[in-house]
Amino acid sequence: MTVKTMLAAKGRDVVFLSPGATVGEAVNCLAEHRIGALVLVDEEMGVKGIFSERDVMRLLAERGTAVLEEKLEGVMTRVVVTCTEDEDIVTIMERMTRGRFRHVPVVSGNRLCGIISIGDVVKHRVEEMQREHDELRTYIMTA
């Protein structure tokens, strides 16, 4: 399955903020939308960074609550691994495993156009395995 097919099924909504927003605003945004990561974009929707719940934990442990007033541009992950719509989900899964992160923004011509999370990938794999299981069962029963 391609990223494009998965986006068609799950939707293209991505929660994003500007790198000029604060860590406190990001925490509220993550909580409000019940998600694990935010993409930080410029005015043209170009990806500038990513900020996840793990970053919140680490920053609070290292610097305490004063970090909530800081701007995301100083603390976000700047080198973001992205993907394009024509790529296969298996490739994205390998990219997540290798990079040890759970979110991959989708870009089209450098603009943010979706996001794939580990939850989306796991859901897809479970459905795929269930389908294979059902097909094998039918094959055995009818052979």
* Interface with ligand AMP (CB under 6 A): 36-37, 50-55, 77, 80-81, 101-104
Closest CA to 1 of 62, 73, 91: 91
The closest residue (CB) to ligand AMP is 52
Q: Report the distance separating Cα 100 and Cα 4, nearest Å.
A: 23
Residue 124 in tokens: 């897809």
Burial 37-48 (b: 16+ CB within 10 A, else e): bbbbbeeebebb
Q: Which is nearer to ligand AMP, 3 or 80 (CB)?
A: 80
Nearest approach in angstroms of CB 39 to ligand AMP is 9
Nearest approach in angstroms of CB 96 to ligand AMP is 8
Nearest approach in angstroms of CB 73 to ligand AMP is 13
